[in-house]
Structure 1
Amino acid sequence: MNERTQRLEGEPQSANNTLFEKIFHLRAHGTNVRTEVIAGATTFFTMCYTLLVTSGLMSQAGMDKGAVFVATCLVAIVGCLLMAFLANYPIAVAPGVGLLGYFAFSVIIGSGVPWQTALGAVFISGVLYAVISLFKLRDWIIESIPDSLRIGLSGGIGLFLAFIALRNSGILVANQATLVSLGNVVSLHSLLALLGFFLVIAFESRRIKGGVLLSIIIITIIGLVMGDINYHGIVSLPPSLSPTFMQLDLMGALQPDMISIILTLLLIAIFNDVGTLLAIGDTYPDMKTKQGKMPRIGRALFSSGATSVFASFFGTPTAAVYAENFAGVSAGGRTGLTAFTIAILFALALLFSPVAEMVPNYATAGALLFIAVLMMGGLARVDWLDLTEAAPAVVTTAMIPLSSSISDGLGLGFISYVVIKVVSGRFRQIPIGCWVLAIVFLLKFIFLH
């Protein structure tokens, strides 16, 4: 029996603790109510930027900004509750930020698809996703990902989070000649982002619980004191949802020219979620069974797919498992109580939206950089002496941040894995599913990209 389990067994249980224990089996997962609540709050404050990003981008596509803000909260609430009670996972689900650009600028603005029809495509892809997750096809997909690609996937998501953090804090800026370059590292935002990162490292190295959340709070308070963050008040009534509620055009989404859009939404959602969940399991082995598998992953994937169906009703793009869940898991979240906490905070965000808006991107940048450090450590498990395994891992790791897409990075990893194994004369080492997925991604890049 380890020290943590002994400590948990020695704790007195209140009525609430007993209830949560019955529902979420906290002790079996080596956790407690306090840890789970802190983890949920950590994930929420790390990902709550989606409330502003989603509403802002969707308003550019012609949707009502206030309604999308409310819809984003409701989708996150539904997704987190499904994860909590169906899968008992410490995982948050919300409208996928990775899909926002494709949905708003490629589908609606670029292709001229009405946003109502685009929401119909979200509904169909969500139904297909939920159905797939109920059958063995989900296991086939998961088992078709070689270990080297899983490790590269974890590292790639880490680099992606680091890139987002550095960009949001102004440490990296756009450059026409080199794509990105170093920004003003002595600006207030950059310095506060770096301070947040150093604080997280200090708290975690000293084993201070909730260090990630604590650093976010400290940096936000500093921003308020220095006058960089405007105080917007505490409470406000949520805007009306009626401009987007049940506005999806299902018949329009059933037209032949929408097939490619539906398939793209489906593929991106599946591989984003599978990739992120597997990366979490690889980074935190205690999330796996003794056989090395993620328990109840089918329920988790079903929860995400079902959430996309609700997203089409409320008025947001396809839902997704967030990479920011690493923040909550790193803070000790191991059960659905973490997801339940996140759902409550998103519900509160409906009434306390001014408070959520006051947490700036640079306040969460340090947390994202810290998670990137943890995720990059998995690359040590790559068999660097076997180039046919190392090279695809590097391709996956590099292309996720460079393409700003977990799905595209993983797809290029699959293709490179198959090609490298074939030209090296090791085609017998390629799983059948890996062949199929490499071909699917190749066709996606040719016809749907």
Structure 2
Amino acid sequence: MLEKFFKLSENGTDVKTEVLAGITTFMTMAYILAVNPSILAAAGMDQGAVFTATALASLVGTLMMALLANYPFALAPGMGLNAYFAYTVVLGMGYKWEVALTAVFVEGIVFIILSLTNVREAIFNAIPKNLKAAVSVGIGLFIAFIGLQNANIVIGGATLVELFSLEGYNSVNGVEAAFNNVGITVLLAVIGVVITGILVIKNIKGNILWGILITWALGIICQFAGIYVPNPELGFYSLLPDFSNGLAIPSIAPVFAKLDFSGVFSLNFIVVIFAFLFVDMFDTIGTLIGVSSKADMLDEEGRLPHIKGALLADAIATTAGAVFGTTTTTTYVESASGVTEGGRTGLTAITTAILFGLALFLSPIFLAIPSFATAPALIVVGFYMLTNVSNIDFGDIAEALPCYICIIAMPFFYSISEGISMGVIAYVVLNLITGKAKDKKISVLMYVLAILFILKYIFL
């Protein structure tokens, strides 16, 4: 049955390989169960409820990927998009989180329509192969930068960003933190990167998750020894899981179906929807490019077979996730780790989805994992994505320069979609002006995208 449905032999794999790959994928991306609730809590959402919503959205999205596309890719609420939701739309623009969730829901519906009409597939296929590799590299740097910030290894300063110092941290944040709270966590994060790196070099299965757990365990030891002293007022909490309520699943009620359609037809609401739509479309396309190219799943023309099913799964997951009470659910770059372990079909994704379901009963553990323990995971995942730079043709400057612009734009402008925008604009303009456009047969859609991106910068 499994052989027939997932076409295991045709894809050169077997049940054992697929299951192990699914476990590996889950282990490398399980950190989202700890990170997403903490980010959305900043927007005023219930942390326990968001944990449940995150696990359910991941379960549903990953199942959809398996059933609709038979790909070993896993889905979960996207990093970057959750930060955009919390810090830009809610805290920055002043929208209630219920309204922002409604924007995510509407965006998901629009994505379902676009996925059924081949628009997103056409955009994916229109992006040149070198630029696809650059997107993967840029995402790697972006993820690593987020990790460095989450661990406070990098903080704001006179040079915009600078290496952590206690004085600098206190100055930027206007607090009186000490080594026993922020300082030791930075040191533990650095140690965590070293430990995770060793595990990666030793090719230990689940190295990313083991890195998180070991770093967290070191933090707990420091707490017992009095080296780490929790200070909730400064955002440094106890590292011990709270099992006072047992292993019950946190109620999803505080965030489930809390959609607010009251301002759906206002101009401001439309702007928010468009912002989510734009960011999500190109984040998703960028991530699919990054994962599939890293997994060597693109064909000779740089296309991903059966991409319509993958895009539709992504769109359905986003819509369902918004109802559950979490931000845009999208394909995860960490899926490449499962593919590296030999995962080639939807059976890998099914395995990952089941583990997300089981994780619902372990909420006290995931909710206690601190950001300094998850940061090494992000930094090392960034390394995995960075290796795709070898697939860029640096012999052709007209190809390499737009790729370079795409890569640096993502971390510097803190946006995957900005990197794609600038990469596309640079690719079209540089090749057009230098007379190389005809030889490279740049598609009409690339010209259309470049014009739309330019108009976006002019009017938005």
**Shared fold (TM-score, shorter chain, > 0.5):** yes
2:269 is equivalent to residue 258 of structure 1? yes
Look up the match of 2:129. Answer: 147
- In structure 1, list runs of 5 or more residues that go unmatched: 1-18
Query: Aligned partners of 1:239, 1:373: CA distance in 2, in Å?
Result: 34
Look up the match of 2:89. Answer: 107
Give the 3-state SS of the residue equivalent to 1:247 in structure 2. coil
Look up the match of 2:160. Answer: 179
Return closer, same or farther for 1:162/1:109 CA change in 2, 3 Å cut-off. closer
User: Cα deviations across residues 13-34 of structure 1 (Å, max 9, x unaligned)?
Assistant: xxxxxx4323322232222333
Return closer, same or farther for 1:257/1:420 CA change in 2, 3 Å cut-off. same
2:325 is equivalent to residue 325 of structure 1? no
Query: Aligned partners of 1:98, 1:371: CA distance in 2, in Å?
Result: 14
Once the 2 structures are TM-superposed, how far is the Cα of residue 417 of structure 1 from its aligned partner? 1.5
Once the 2 structures are TM-superposed, how far is the Cα of residue 82 of structure 1 from its aligned partner? 0.5
Once the 2 structures are TM-superposed, how far is the Cα of residue 339 of structure 1 from its aligned partner? 1.7
Give the 3-state SS of the residue equivalent to 1:352 in structure 2. helix
Structure 2 counterpart of 1:198, which letter?
I
Once the 2 structures are TM-superposed, how far is the Cα of residue 133 of structure 1 from its aligned partner? 1.0
User: Cα deviations across residues 325-383 of structure 1 (Å, max 9, x unaligned)?
Assistant: 22322233222122222222221222111233455555555555554444333323323
Look up the match of 2:73. Answer: 91
Return closer, same or farther for 1:369/1:120 CA change in 2, 3 Å cut-off. closer
Moved more, 151-160 or 387-396: 151-160
Moved more, 287-296 or 385-394: 287-296
2:311 is equivalent to residue 301 of structure 1? yes
User: Cα deviations across residues 219-250 of structure 1 (Å, max 9, x unaligned)?
Assistant: 55555566675354595212222222222123
2:200 is equivalent to residue 200 of structure 1? yes
Structure 2 counterpart of 1:263, which letter?
F
Moved more, 91-100 or 393-402: 91-100
**8 A contact 1:120–1:252 mirrored in 2:** no
Structure 2 counterpart of 1:139, which letter?
E
**8 A contact 2:192–2:211 mirrored in 1:** no
Look up the match of 2:235. Answer: none
Give the 3-state SS of the residue equivalent to 2:257 in structure 1. coil
Question: Which of the residues 419, 442, 448 maps onto 2:454?
Answer: 442
Query: Aligned partners of 1:163, 1:308: CA distance in 2, in Å?
Result: 25
Once the 2 structures are TM-superposed, how far is the Cα of residue 61 of structure 1 from its aligned partner? 2.2
Return closer, same or farther for 1:315/1:256 CA change in 2, 3 Å cut-off. same
Q: Superposition RMSD on alpha carbons, in Å?
A: 2.7
Once the 2 structures are TM-superposed, how far is the Cα of residue 176 of structure 1 from its aligned partner? 0.9
**8 A contact 1:326–1:371 mirrored in 2:** no
Structure 2 counterpart of 1:173, which letter?
V
**8 A contact 1:200–1:366 mirrored in 2:** no
**8 A contact 1:68–1:244 mirrored in 2:** yes
Question: Which of the residues 222, 227, 236 maps onto 2:247?
Answer: 236
Matches within 5 A, 1:14-413: 19-169=1-151, 172-183=153-164, 187-201=187-201, 203-204=202-203, 212=208, 229-233=239-243, 235-285=246-296, 287-289=297-299, 292-357=302-367, 368-413=378-423
Query: Aligned partners of 2:217, 2:289: CA distance in 1, in Å?
Result: 35
Alignment length, in residue pairs? 424
Look up the match of 2:436. Answer: 426
Give the 3-state SS of the residue equivalent to 2:10 in structure 1. helix
Moved more, 386-395 or 288-297: 288-297
After TM superposition, the score normalised by the length of structure 2 is 0.83
Give the 3-state SS of the residue equivalent to 1:237 in structure 2. coil
User: Cα deviations across residues 55-76 of structure 1 (Å, max 9, x unaligned)?
Assistant: 2333332333322222111111
Query: Aligned partners of 1:433, 1:404: CA distance in 2, in Å?
Result: 26
**8 A contact 1:220–1:363 mirrored in 2:** yes
Query: Aligned partners of 1:197, 1:30: CA distance in 2, in Å?
Result: 30
Look up the match of 1:5. Answer: none
Return closer, same or farther for 1:222/1:20 CA change in 2, 3 Å cut-off. farther
**8 A contact 2:193–2:380 mirrored in 1:** no
Give percent identity, aligned residues only. Answer: 42
- In structure 2, list runs of 5 or more residues that go unmatched: 166-183, 229-238
Query: Aligned partners of 2:379, 2:11: CA distance in 1, in Å?
Result: 27
Once the 2 structures are TM-superposed, how far is the Cα of residue 90 of structure 1 from its aligned partner? 1.5
Query: Aligned partners of 1:315, 1:209: CA distance in 2, in Å?
Result: 32
Structure 2 counterpart of 1:100, which letter?
N
**8 A contact 1:38–1:213 mirrored in 2:** no
Return closer, same or farther for 1:52/1:93 CA change in 2, 3 Å cut-off. same
Once the 2 structures are TM-superposed, how far is the Cα of residue 127 of structure 1 from its aligned partner? 0.9
**8 A contact 1:39–1:210 mirrored in 2:** no
Query: Aligned partners of 1:358, 1:120: CA distance in 2, in Å?
Result: 29
Give the 3-state SS of the residue equivalent to 1:333 in structure 2. coil
After TM superposition, the score normalised by the length of structure 1 is 0.85
Structure 2 counterpart of 1:190, which letter?
V
Return closer, same or farther for 1:334/1:221 CA change in 2, 3 Å cut-off. farther
Return closer, same or farther for 1:178/1:40 CA change in 2, 3 Å cut-off. farther
Return closer, same or farther for 1:162/1:256 CA change in 2, 3 Å cut-off. closer
**8 A contact 1:169–1:193 mirrored in 2:** no
